[in-house]
Chain A
């Protein structure tokens, strides 16, 4: 029953002869890409011998095949690639037709990654799709660059180890980040009030009634208003100086446009004072007076200080800087219009008696005022010809001004959106950091702990799976009779209220249930963090997967691997990483690309998916369980009640949220909870494989959804009961992110804050289902992750496939058979 090529069963790799024979006996090959089955002629693949698929043809040894694909099955003549199936359709079509087209919905970045993976150069993309592809890609690249830049800027704010770093940091937060604390907010408001006040004072100052007459008979400032001015300037100066002192990078601070504005707002005052004081005696001279006047006018620059407090003003500035091309166009249009119409009107009007159109430069003013439809009426044409020219000038002006404006507006709205999003991202990140500082998030600890344990894990877990299982069983036996998960972990801590670190240690060691104890909340957070960390990486390492394919990869991505630990097979890591990576990448993508991506994905998730998913979902699930069985069996007859428990929590955890979610789900969740509920009661003798089959499948489906949602399949004729549940999962996890994205700081903070205790409680209490209830929808994400493992796990071990498997896989998700199975 053990198949060649499935490593999880530790069977010997097939001989090259076998591989050659298998390749020779059929003209076609089956390619399973992320669960989607394709059938293609070997001949077709030969057309591009240097690509990944072309190489597959030439591979005759187990190792070389494994280098090319992720898994294979010689009996079925099937090769598995753990990639996005959506892009693959177009790539396979390239082999078939020689023309590379791109699916319209594909993200250009992910498509280019896919192309990299399959070893196809993007230059082959047809022109019809190329324009779109390059446009999107450039856009994305630009956006990514910008994002990375801002991130780097944020990183750059690290404080050096000079004196009183702590205080300076606090001061900096207080002055620069109004959202960081209540006091900072108050400070920002006061600052705004001062700006407004000083501007009002400045304008009131020019009212003749409020002005005083000095000794030279010249009007000077009102003394009261001068005091107000002095106070405002003092505040601004203090603010500027404090900012300057607390800034982490002095030169960068000095260069910042907003800080230059600040400086310009306060400098004129001091210059004026300096000039008046030093030249008291010569003040009557006109020159000094004029200089002083100029500096006084420069005070109005302080109104620009408001830009610091307004995103809108900042994006206006950005827009103008960005769209100088279009602005240039606008000015060029206007200039040409003015030139033409003023010369025309000059020739039309110049013979008129005491005309105001004395020369072409003189009529420039008229043309400007007319083209902008201001129309003061100080100059207007009087002859008929002049009036005709004037009328044309009006209409042309309206047209010419209106044309480039939409482009600028577009730029503006883009920037505004971007700015808003960045603000939110910063907020989110700050909340994250705060939470980390408070110690309510354990993700860092997990990483550290994992780093320490990883070597050990590598050795121990891979070699001594069986032992682990025994240990687990023992732990379970020796520990409380209450079937908490903790009792099964080999490294048991003495008390249930263990610290976070030991807790994580256990988590890694327990292979099967590794992910379940960890709070989904923290996984979420971890993901977020990952996103941030990888922001730059996506650019620099477009081909992460191929890199990680190498043997070094084991120690490469520890965090990712952490979840994968539970898989004992040695090869599992690499593929696991493949998946995790892809997912995290996609999550980055979705984060980076703006809200439209969310929309898109949610759209996908609603779209009913046809045949393939169910097959895939059912199939690994079954295999997983079978393997469970085979692993457990050697240990000895498992106590039914407890072994049940090993599976039942999952079933419950998954099904509960589903139940609350939608009616449609009920049918399905009923199926899942039925057996598992029975097992929780210790009713014991229900077939182990049965319950786990159901629960596993239920778990599997969301994972599949992750794949299939991206691949756009034709809508099925009959809606499936399985699929809706899947999508609720997907949706939920997305909305989770969106939640984090929006301003639910408290939520984010509350979650991690409460979760450890929550978790511990859940652990100690025998009712696991309770804890899952408490966590609510959050662990959807977790379950998805778990699925990630499971699917891998099972794909590795595509051995001993059961009978149901055939049926399900044979019928591609037609609900009829599914129902039969269920």
Chain B
């Protein structure tokens, strides 16, 4: 009742819109109906991109219904109207390629979804304009990150069932026990104990340097209190056991060695053993003084154990990530500071020369002053005394504030973005897993559909999720099995 007049008016208006309205031309126009939105398009226009679906449609002979039905979802021969069961909104954007030669994504449409539409219409992705591409790449990056996260989660979930009996199975068990605190209660306990050991050993390291707590040995040398020494030994013992177990159970030794956290672990325990060997064996080979110096130097390396905390804190990991990401900005910061230090220390040195009791004795010495001033720390051990020198100092700390503040902003930005993203990724990955589980449940014939109101029926399969990772195809069956068992 309504449809007839409407389509007439729409076709007439669209034809008058599209061209001067010659009758012949109107005959040749093809009208398409995309999910209820009707459009009339001229074949010449469509043929600009002969690869595209619409151009193929325009070119195919009117009688070949097979071809037509393969290209579109429904066809009305008398009106020569093709029906497509697609999203009209996206199509409105995509059809612009015929007019302007480029596609702009409408705001609000999910880029991933839009790409699928473009693929359907067989418009090459390269026609997507640059301004919208950044949007797309951003989304794709995010998807990749989610995929990574999912892979990690899947690794965690992976059971030991797949492994055959024997050493490999043990290896995997130990690895999960040491590396994945979430996997079991025992693993969590181990993680907490490890954390406590790090704390204790750090405290012991600090306490050991307090003179009151040190004892003098026979030669008058101060050495650490025996109790503290014992605690230290226990801690190192624990760290060593931990490290060896990790190393032994690591699936890939090379990757294990190259990992930053493991290097830190190694540095944390290495000095102890080196000192041990030096004190027992070294005396035979070299002078006592040398040995002691070496021991002292190695003591500094104990500081590395503080970094071991990073394994247990996501905040620290975020920090390292942010610093890694903003390497350029850090370089910028150091460069600004370096230039500032050179300029202002030189200026300060020259300006203070006139004063008889100057604290600026040489340019390298005034570097220290420049750093302390530019970072607005200002110890007061060196300070300018002449008026010119004071002016210089004022300028230098103003510049210092700016030099620090400018490059720091991107670093902070990186940090905040990563920090916030971490939370989002977590939920996204979890839901992705759920989705996979759901789909695998549907695939298994016996599996009862979990959600009653929203399952695909058996005949028409949904296409896989866009974010589907090849790795997961094999895995998700087992995941589902595991979940359903548990």
B347 at the interface (CB under 8 A from A): no
A360 touches B206 (CB 8 A): yes
B463 touches A120 (CB 8 A): no
A124 touches B377 (CB 8 A): no
By a CB distance below 8 angstroms, the chain A residues around B424 are: 131-132, 134-135
B404: which of A76, A343, A398, A801 is its contact (CB, 8 Å)?
A398
B332 at the interface (CB under 8 A from A): no
A98-B462, A127-B432, A375-B380 as given contacts; A103 in contact with B109, CB under 8 Å: yes
B408: which of A93, A128, A132, A399 is its contact (CB, 8 Å)?
A399
B377: which of A37, A49, A394 is its contact (CB, 8 Å)?
A394
A126 touches B457 (CB 8 A): no
B211: which of A359, A395, A405 is its contact (CB, 8 Å)?
A359
B109 touches A128 (CB 8 A): no
B92: which of A48, A129, A376, A714 is its contact (CB, 8 Å)?
A714
B142 touches A131 (CB 8 A): yes
A28 touches B408 (CB 8 A): no
A361 touches B207 (CB 8 A): yes
A767 to chain B, nearest CB (A): 40
B9: which of A361, A369, A807 is its contact (CB, 8 Å)?
A807
By a CB distance below 8 angstroms, the chain A residues around B108 are: 103-105, 712
B2 touches A38 (CB 8 A): no
B87 touches A93 (CB 8 A): yes
How many A residues face the partner with a CB closer than 8 A? 105
Cα A402 to Cα B207 in complex, Å, equals 30
A46-B460, A50-B452, A130-B431 as given contacts; A359 in contact with B209, CB under 8 Å: yes
B223 at the interface (CB under 8 A from A): no
B245 at the interface (CB under 8 A from A): no
By a CB distance below 8 angstroms, the chain A residues around B431 are: 123, 125, 127, 130, 134
Q: What are the interface flags for B318-340 relative to A under an 8 Å C-beta threshold, 1 for contact and 0 otherwise? A: 01001000000000011001000
B451 touches A121 (CB 8 A): yes
A821 to chain B, nearest CB (A): 12
Q: What are the interface flags for B1-32 relative to A under an 8 Å C-beta threshold, 1 for contact and 0 otherwise? A: 11101111110010001000000000000000
A40 touches B379 (CB 8 A): no
A121 touches B454 (CB 8 A): yes
Cα A73 to Cα B2 in complex, Å, equals 11
Cα A333 to Cα B309 in complex, Å, equals 11
Q: What are the interface flags for A14-33 relative to B under an 8 Å C-beta threshold, 1 for contact and 0 otherwise? A: 00000000000001101100
A714 touches B106 (CB 8 A): yes
A336-B309, A377-B378 as given contacts; A47 in contact with B457, CB under 8 Å: yes
Question: In the complex, what residue of chain B is closest to A27 when comparing beta carbons?
Answer: B74
B412 touches A810 (CB 8 A): no
Residues of chain A from 332 to 346 with CB closer than 8 A to chain B in the complex = 332-333, 336, 339-340, 342-344, 346
B85: which of A40, A73, A714 is its contact (CB, 8 Å)?
A40
B460 touches A47 (CB 8 A): yes
A355 to chain B, nearest CB (A): 12
Q: What are the interface flags for A115-145 relative to B under an 8 Å C-beta threshold, 1 for contact and 0 otherwise? A: 0000111011111111110110010000000
**Interface of A: prevailing SS:** helix
By a CB distance below 8 angstroms, the chain B residues around A373 are: 375-377
B36 at the interface (CB under 8 A from A): yes
B337: which of A120, A336, A395 is its contact (CB, 8 Å)?
A395
B399 to chain A, nearest CB (A): 14
A41 touches B85 (CB 8 A): yes
A127: which of B113, B143, B300 is its contact (CB, 8 Å)?
B143
A552 at the interface (CB under 8 A from B): no
Cα A105 to Cα B110 in complex, Å, equals 10
By a CB distance below 8 angstroms, the chain B residues around A410 are: 416
A125 to chain B, nearest CB (A): 7
A130 touches B206 (CB 8 A): no
B306: which of A75, A336, A395, A817 is its contact (CB, 8 Å)?
A336
A50: which of B112, B376, B455 is its contact (CB, 8 Å)?
B455
B206 touches A339 (CB 8 A): yes
B5 touches A48 (CB 8 A): no
A104-B107, A403-B411, A807-B5 as given contacts; A332 in contact with B74, CB under 8 Å: no
Cα A350 to Cα B83 in complex, Å, equals 85
A127-B428, A127-B431, A358-B211 as given contacts; A809 in contact with B2, CB under 8 Å: yes
Question: In the complex, what residue of chain B is closest to A36 when comparing beta carbons?
Answer: B36
Would you mind naming 10 contact pairs between A and B with Cβ atoms under 8 Å apart? A98-B456, A101-B112, A127-B466, A336-B309, A343-B205, A343-B300, A359-B206, A395-B334, A400-B319, A812-B6
Which 5 A-B pairs have CB atoms at the shortest separation, nearest pair first?
Answer: A810-B6, A39-B36, A377-B380, A375-B377, A98-B462
